[in-house]
Amino acid sequence: MIVIKRNGTEVDFDIEKIYGAVVKANESVEESLRMTPVQIRRISEFVELSCMKMNRAPSVEEIQDMVEYQIMAHGAFEVAKSYITYRYTRSLIRKSNTTDEKILSLIECCNEEAKQENSNKNPVVNSTQRDYMAGEVSRDISERLLLPADIVEAHREGIIHFHDSDYYAQHMHNCDLVNLEDMLQNGTVITGTLIERPHSFSTACNIATQIIAQVASNQYGGQSISLAHLAPFVDVSRRKIRKTVEQEMETLGVQAGEEQISRVVEDRLRDEVRRGVQTIQYQVLTLLTTNGQAPFVTVFMYLGEARNEQERKDLALIIEETLEQRYEGVKNEDGVWITPAFPKLIYVLEESNVREGTPYWYLTKLAAKCTARRMVPDYISEKKMLELKVDKNGEGHCYTCMGCRSFLTPYVDPETNQPKYYGRFNQGVVTINLPDVALSSGGNLEKFWKIFDERLELCHRALMCRHERLKGTVSDVAPILWQYGALARLKKGEVIDKLLYGGYSTISLGYAGLYECVKYMTGKSHTDPEATPFALEVMERMNAACRGWKAQHNIDFSLYGTPLESTTYKFAKCLQRRFGVIEGINDKGYITNSYHVHVTEEINAFEKLRFEAQFQHLSPGGAISYVEVPDMQNNLEAVLSVMQFIYDNIIYAELNTKSDYCQVCGWDGEIQISEENGKLIWKCPKCGNTDQDKMNVARRTCGYIGTQFWNQGRTQEIRDRVLHL
């Protein structure tokens, strides 16, 4: 059995260390108050058994909490007092050098928690280590100097989660929709170099990747670009190629008809589109931004954004090529085609492509084929978005999320009275731990609502800290964002404050563990008709809080279904430490993402999507639903049925399958999760390989694909998932 130390390193569990620590505390008190050696041995064995039942690697803090409780359970209160005093003294000593220890463990690559903190970051490479090191210093400064003590304490205790605290010291925002159209059509500046309007599709793609890299290095969340903004350059290339072909024909003395010339032009054009799309895919994957990972970018594919019929056809050509290349995958170091994590793809289901016989049905079939093999694209329903994302003029809009799930709210530019989405952003996120509210109430409903309101106010103050940190930011800190078109075209020295108010940007109240919260308070899953009203009431209470804060500050607070990655493990451990292990509530190494149906609950794909749709609507700041499916490559009709159901019923959803490869034996089936020595590990079912550096595993983490493995809590959650189809 493995134990995780405070600096993130792993050691083998040693019962004698527990026994020795209790003996020392025992010997420090009067003999008449001491426990017997048999009692001390029982305490040690009880703690060992409790750790084994956790089905994950316990932390040192959790083990010491158990020891404390057991000493008191034996009535040895003076011994417990001595033990607690010793722990407190040691914690004071550690406070002076905790950051140093964490940084050193990062450099030596022995911090297991850091290794699994982000499933798309390789913690061994220097650039990632540098980002993590800077993050530890930034987090330390934020906790000691910049944030109120009660918010820091609530974050440490898992009552709330103050997201991305390792970036808080800098004036950085979360995620955004890049205004690629403005930057390509009107030019931009990258590292002091003027980039003018491109004269071909391939050049536009190249510039787009440079913009993506620059944006990723100046924020900490996801970004989205639209292929519709590249579509006009297809015709630019077409005209350029036609001119070249005509000149070639004239030079060779060939008398070619219009049909022949057009055929040659379109063949060459398709080749250029292929190269341009390949540029985006390969450069995004091979670029390494300043935070040590490939840019977290989402590519939006929406035919409805085309401005005319020719542009729509050209956009369809780009979408087709994008799907074809993603279906093929990318080669790993052994030359084997595997599933890449980025760019994330989103395909919009609309009237022109959602049914057989519609003009672009062929694209939807290709999307289904790609999803069955590579887990992307994800799907947005134009129908449901137009119905539910309505602006103040009463008009519905369909647009992409920022990264994996964070959605802007409808906004009308007061100067033009026109809707605006590209160029907007999110200021940051603070998440409330709903199961903690429930457990703190002891099941008393009146107490629950009282604590809930107190916690919401705590989140409100934490979110205002995020806002105030951005307020006064000068555009010069990130010229690509604020001066050269990605988000705005402010003057040098101008502050970004006007973009923080009036709904131009959002700020998000996240929430996690609705299932566990409802289960504790009602005794039933929130899918049970008797418990669903309470779940909806919780959602409405959070939305009401956001509306109240918005009216108070003129800032667009929005409720957000948090994509827990490493935080799911943190929250679970905190709940166990604060309340003990309660069966069916906090007895896992994870808690459920946002409003999702619990991963172990048997429910079919269509019922799951129908049920979760009502909660997605109540999460205007962002949410995504998924269905877990087996290998569907030979059952595309079923995939298409799910996609059509998404179109009619829910804003945003995805299908999760598996895509793995063992570099040792060539196995391309599912890599299994097994337990060895108290730790969950990935294991090839064919050759038994457990070396993560010699396997490629792709799993949907929480809205996006992860490829660098996960912490123990998330790994347990992945293992526990049941199929919905």
- DSSP codes of every residue in 494-542: -BSGGGSSTTSSEEEEEEE-HHHHHHHHHSS-TTSTTTHHHHHHHHHHH
On the question of pLDDT at 110 being above 70, the answer is no
Residues sharing a CB contact under 8 Å with residue 229, sequence separation 6 or more, in sequence order: 180, 181, 184, 422
**Would you state the torsion angle of the CA atoms of residues 211, 710, 661, 301, taken in this order, to the nearest 10 degrees?**
-40
CA–CA gap between residue 590 and residue 722 (Å, rounded): 15
CA–CA gap between residue 119 and residue 444 (Å, rounded): 38
On the question of pLDDT at 66 being above 80, the answer is yes
Residues sharing a CB contact under 8 Å with residue 160, sequence separation 6 or more, in sequence order: 151, 154, 430, 431, 432, 433, 455, 458, 459, 462
pLDDT at 36: 94
Task: Name the residues annotated as catalytic.
Answer: 174-175, 402, 404, 406, 426, 560, 565, 703
pLDDT tens sequence across 216-238: 989 998 999 999 999 999 999 99
- State which H helix or E strand residue 53 sits in: helix 37-53
Per-residue pLDDT, averaged over 632-636, amounts to 95
pLDDT at 195: 96
The percent of residues in the chain predicted with pLDDT above 70, rounded, is: 92
pLDDT at 125: 63
Q: What is the residue whose two structure tokens read 């070249």?
A: 244
Helix (H, G, I), strand (E, B) or coil at 12: strand
pLDDT at 576: 92
On the question of pLDDT at 296 being above 70, the answer is yes
On the question of pLDDT at 115 being above 80, the answer is no
On the question of pLDDT at 713 being above 90, the answer is no
pLDDT at 176: 97
Q: Provide the pLDDT confidence category of residue 294 given band limits of 50, 70 and 90.
A: confident
Concatenating the DSSP letter of every residue in 615-646 gives HHHT-TTB--EEEE----TT-HHHHHHHHHHH
Three-class SS of 534-586: HHHHHHHHHHHHHHHHHHHHCCEEEEEECCCCCHHHHHHHHHHHHHCCCCCCC
Beta bridge partners of 700: 705
Per-residue pLDDT, averaged over 272-278, amounts to 97
pLDDT at 700: 85
**Which region holds residue 688: left if phi is over 0, alpha if psi is between -120 and 50, else beta?**
left
CA–CA gap between residue 82 and residue 85 (Å, rounded): 5
CA–CA gap between residue 483 and residue 470 (Å, rounded): 16
Going by C-alpha positions, the residue among 694, 613, 620, 685 that lies closest to residue 649 is 613
On the question of pLDDT at 648 being above 90, the answer is yes
Going by C-alpha positions, the residue among 393, 389, 462 that lies closest to residue 428 is 462
pLDDT at 435: 98
CA–CA gap between residue 536 and residue 546 (Å, rounded): 15
Residues sharing a CB contact under 8 Å with residue 460, sequence separation 6 or more, in sequence order: 509, 545, 549
Per-residue pLDDT, averaged over 407-411, amounts to 97
pLDDT tens sequence across 489-507: 999 999 999 999 999 999 9
**Would you state the torsion angle of the CA atoms of residues 259, 263, 264, 269, taken in this order, to the nearest 10 degrees?**
130
pLDDT at 587: 94
Peptide bond into 377 cis (omega under 30): yes
pLDDT at 677: 82
**Of residues 106 and 145, which shows the higher confidence score?**
145
**Of residues 444 and 61, which shows the higher confidence score?**
444
**Of residues 125 and 333, which shows the higher confidence score?**
333
On the question of pLDDT at 92 being above 70, the answer is no
Query: CA-based Rg of the chain, rounded to a whole angstrom?
Result: 27
pLDDT at 367: 98
CA–CA gap between residue 596 and residue 626 (Å, rounded): 9
How many Cβ atoms are within 10 Å of 218's Cβ, its own excluded?
20
CA–CA gap between residue 18 and residue 12 (Å, rounded): 13
**Of residues 529 and 709, which shows the higher confidence score?**
529
Average pLDDT value over all residues in the chain: 91
Compute the residue count for the chain: 725
Going by C-alpha positions, the residue among 416, 376, 418 that lies closest to residue 397 is 418
On the question of pLDDT at 480 being above 80, the answer is yes
For 154, 160, 170, 351, 365, the CA distances from 147, given in Å and listed in that order, are: 11, 14, 13, 49, 51
On the question of pLDDT at 303 being above 90, the answer is yes
- State which H helix or E strand residue 344 sits in: strand 344-349
pLDDT at 332: 84
On the question of pLDDT at 608 being above 70, the answer is yes
Strands 659-662 and 672-676: unpaired
Residues sharing a CB contact under 8 Å with residue 486, sequence separation 6 or more, in sequence order: 176, 178, 179, 183, 188, 211, 214, 215, 423, 480
Q: Provide the pLDDT confidence category of residue 563 given band limits of 50, 70 and 90.
A: confident
- State which H helix or E strand residue 274 sits in: helix 258-286
Q: For residue 237, give both structure tokens.
A: 């290339």
**Would you state the torsion angle of the CA atoms of residues 435, 438, 443, 444, taken in this order, to the nearest 10 degrees?**
-170
On the question of pLDDT at 111 being above 60, the answer is no
CA–CA gap between residue 157 and residue 166 (Å, rounded): 17
pLDDT at 637: 97
Contact 318, 275 (CB under 8 A): no
pLDDT tens sequence across 353-387: 999 999 999 999 999 999 999 999 999 999 999 99
Q: Classify residue 142 by its DSSP letter.
A: I
How many Cβ atoms are within 10 Å of 77's Cβ, its own excluded?
12
CA–CA gap between residue 156 and residue 517 (Å, rounded): 20
For 18, 331, 556, 573, the CA distances from 7, given in Å and listed in that order, are: 19, 36, 38, 16
Q: Provide the pLDDT confidence category of residue 523 given band limits of 50, 70 and 90.
A: very high
